[in-house]
Structure 1
Amino acid sequence: MPDLESFIRGLPKAELHLHIEGSLEPELMFELARRNGIELPFADVEAVRAAYAFSNLQDFLDIYYQGAQVLVTERDFHDLAMAYFRRVAADGAVHAEIFFDPQTHTERGVAFATVADGLLAGMAEAKATLGVTSKLILCFLRHLSEDDAQETLRQAEPYLDRIAGVGLDSSELGHPPAKFAKVFAAARAQGLKLVAHAGEEGPPEYVHEALDILAVDRIDHGNRALEDAGLVKRLVAQGMTLTVCPLSNLKLCVVDELPDHPLKRMLRLGLKATINSDDPAYFGGYLAENWISTTHALGLTRDELVTLARNSFTGSFLTPGEIAVHLTEIDNYVADVEAGRPR
């Protein structure tokens, strides 16, 4: 019987909460800066890593947007995507649903098509060479206006057959989901899936708004929903997936220590939680590291790990047939492990 770390790495899984710009490692940041003739406000890679000492979400966002300035060409976005897919494939992921923030790039003159074409090329290469499938989710920056979001959705129209859904990220406090009711309704009318960050730093009421006003298909984070017993019951009854990000929560001081993280409690309450890496270049861990660190900190059992893996597929935007295949793969993996059969 393999140890838990080996079991985790081999367990088929999906990642549902990953900001592709947040996978920009300092080494690639400097490489792209040199490629594009951009001067960074850091002397070297070590100086960038030293700056990753965040006390809240806004501290992180300030450096996140600064780092994204090096992404200029279609090749840059392709290379960024492939760097992530290589890492997540090594972690045992076979599917990923990745966020991108077009407004971060279009507001500095990078065309929407440059961003989308580069990411889509990377996604196609990852499927062909790594066997990792993926879906693309366009996120609106909530600190900007709904009019800006509407314009971004308009720019995305030529790509809507290749974009699975829209989301809502960036500064949560002071920017409730209700602010984006019209653009989410417009996205739904175009057949897109809907997700939203809610209940990370924002109150449980933001989760209510994401459900009632935006009519989301999935909640990103959702930690603070646990403060509202009625909301928890509703989320359980609806089978609403929560894309939880443990190491992100630790790095941004959403929890003081990883053993304080509510993930195990979420599972015991019947919530459909998943484990994800959020912005792994900044938060110190890709997908497997989130699984492994959280397992050690919370004492997750093998059965709970299997539940988390199953949730990652049933909470995805794959078709029912595709989901069924992945669930069978999990069952086969567990059966092989228990029988001591090599894989």
Structure 2
Amino acid sequence: MSDEASPEVKVSNELECQGCGAILKFKPGTHHLSCEYCGAENEIFNPDDQVVTIEETSLEEYLKEGLKKEEKIDIVTVRCDGCGGSFTFEPNLSSDFCPFCSSPKVIKGGTTASVYKPGYLLPFDISRKQALSSYQHWLKSLWFAPGDLKHYANNNDRFNGMYIPFWTYDCHTRTQYSGASGHDYQVQRQVNVIENGKSVTRTRYVTKTRWRHASGEVQNIFDDILVVASSAVSQPKMNKIKAWDLDNLVPYDDKYLSGFRTETYTVNIEDGYENAKTKMHREIVFSVKQDIGGDRQRIDHLNTQYSGASFKQILVPIWLSAYRYKGKVYQFIINGRTGAVAGDRPYSTKKIVLAILGGLLLILFISLFVK
């Protein structure tokens, strides 16, 4: 990796419109490039004529030898000093805002890096117009939102189409466990209670649990465990817009990126695998409890062996807006395939106080005048 004083972003001849010379951009919901000026279109990929064969890379092979045989691509990125996000930028820009935290960024020079080429991507299916409409609707529907927040809904410059990097992991696991299976039963008890000022005896049923030792082994097969490889968009927030249709992955082609930004990988393969193991562990625990059976389960010991682990690098599309309000960053994202939304929002203390006071006045009015 090397720093360049003024990196040059070259436009491929394949991205130039033959009719008017403008830069062709990928059109969401299609598999072709489109010219926004003269309407010319160039096909990128035809899913009806081409069969996509998904290939995984052995994790064990990678950890031993690295990705020496994997193809690399050279990209120019800008790193935000505010949030640490690293993203591509459009040619000929001298200043911009970070799409993740809305910090102003003067582009004095980017970083030219040679990175491993993603294997596959999911193209955008939701257009900018559709995403912006959802964004505006979401902002305007917020309860107790500051009154001056509405101008963010009309700021198209802060609304970005962004490809986010993910790792996906496949793995087989074999887990030996020991614990106990709990079986509930009811017992009767006589208790004294006060009723109408008198002490009376009543029968109550109490649930108790009979525990029995349990041990065994469960096996799990994990396919496409998704781990976001971005530090600028949190995994919990991405989880809220999940349900990525990975059956529609297409081979990576930078033409799909034309007109959009791309974040580079900031979570390495090893850390991503540890995150994937955390997700696998939750499923393993669920499988063990099912195997133990009974009304309740107690797990005393787990020993899991992982085998056949493999991975791939993919890009998924989101529409992203980040805005600063009173010194705090608020982020809003939309799944670029399904339109699912997730976001942060500010609250107006003034509106909350007025709402409380209004409620108290209403209660007072009712108590004074309604008999």
Higher relative contact order (CA 8 A, sep 6+): 2
Q: Fold conserved (TM > 0.5)?
A: no
TM-score, scaled relative to structure 2: 0.20
More helix by share: 1
More strand by share: 2
TM-score, scaled relative to structure 1: 0.21
